């Protein structure tokens, strides 16, 4: 079996389709990752220090200044605090109203942060399956060549099919792993922001808990 024949096996149309699909999956993962990075930067995700300063001003009794600082709405947390402050000022005796306003704002913000992450989950789930499909196609090609061979089978033919099969599997797993790590990082950022949101809402309505206090 010469080199040209082996290359024809490698670039079998079905195999090319699998590689093309994996390339599309890679493009989707990179595009979503870039989009989310830009989106998180524009939304102001993770700007806890600024939110803590706003909350300190509010708890010190300077409501007007705290509202002015939060009205800039330059981060997720500042928008949440603005909703809490607005509710508390609109109905001072009803903290549940402020909490509900903050909850609704938080749902909108977290929903935007989670947008398009499903695409990464899709890549994680489908890329290994595409690689496995390439494996099956490669093995079918390899053994079909063996079944048609007259006399002793050429080891190069079998090696070519197996090499193609293993390559698609490796590429599929690599794409899935990269997408998994990207998705996990973004999800951890969202979970961290959700926890901070809950803490800030509670602190704005009920006040901070003194960390030096010990329960008996």
The answer to whether the CB of 172 falls within 8 A of the CB of 130 is yes
Contacts of residue 167, defined as CB under 8 A and 6 or more positions apart, other chains included, come to: 134, 138
Do the domain assignments include residue 211? no
Do the domain assignments include residue 214? no
Do the domain assignments include residue 212? no
Angle between helices 155-206 and 117-148 (to 10 degrees): 170
The 10s digit of each residue's pLDDT in 13-66 is: 778 888 899 999 999 999 999 999 999 999 999 888 999 999 999 999 898 999
The 10s digit of each residue's pLDDT in 139-165 is: 877 777 666 665 555 666 666 667 777
Do the domain assignments include residue 216? no
Do the domain assignments include residue 129? yes
The end-to-end CA distance of the chain, in Å, is 82
Residue 112 has which token pair? 């935007």
Distance CA 60, CA 58 (A): 5
Total number of domains in the chain: 1
Do the domain assignments include residue 39? yes
- For residue 169, give its domain range: 3-206
Name the region of 91 (left: φ>0; alpha: ψ -120 to 50; beta: rest). Answer: beta
Distance CA 153, CA 86 (A): 80
Please tell me the pTM assigned to this model. 0.81
Do the domain assignments include residue 123? yes
The 10s digit of each residue's pLDDT in 77-136 is: 999 999 999 999 998 888 999 999 999 999 999 999 999 999 999 999 999 999 998 888
């Amino acid at each position: 079996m010469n080199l040209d024949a082996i290359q024809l096996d490698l670039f079998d149309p079905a195999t090319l389709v699998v590689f093309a699909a994996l390339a599309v999956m890679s493009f989707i993962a990179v595009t979503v990752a870039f989009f989310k990075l830009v989106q998180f930067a524009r939304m102001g995700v993770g700007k806890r220090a600024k939110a803590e300063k706003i909350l300190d001003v509010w708890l010190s009794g300077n409501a007007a200044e705290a509202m002015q600082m939060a009205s800039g709405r330059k981060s997720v947390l500042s928008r949440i605090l603005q909703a809490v402050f607005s509710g508390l000022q609109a109905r001072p005796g009803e903290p549940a109203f402020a909490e509900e306003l903050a909850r609704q704002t938080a749902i909108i913000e977290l929903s935007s942060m989670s947008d398009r992450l499903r695409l990464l989950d899709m890549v994680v789930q489908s890329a290994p399956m595409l690689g496995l499909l390439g494996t099956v196609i490669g093995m079918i090609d390899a053994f079909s060549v063996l079944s048609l061979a007259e006399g002793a089978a050429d080891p190069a033919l079998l090696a070519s099919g197996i090499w193609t099969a293993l390559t698609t599997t490796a590429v599929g797993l690599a794409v899935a792993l990269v997408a998994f790590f990207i998705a996990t990082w973004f999800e951890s950022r969202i979970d961290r922001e959700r926890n901070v949101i809950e803490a800030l809402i509670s602190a704005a309505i009920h006040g901070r808990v003194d960390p030096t206090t010990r329960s008996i």
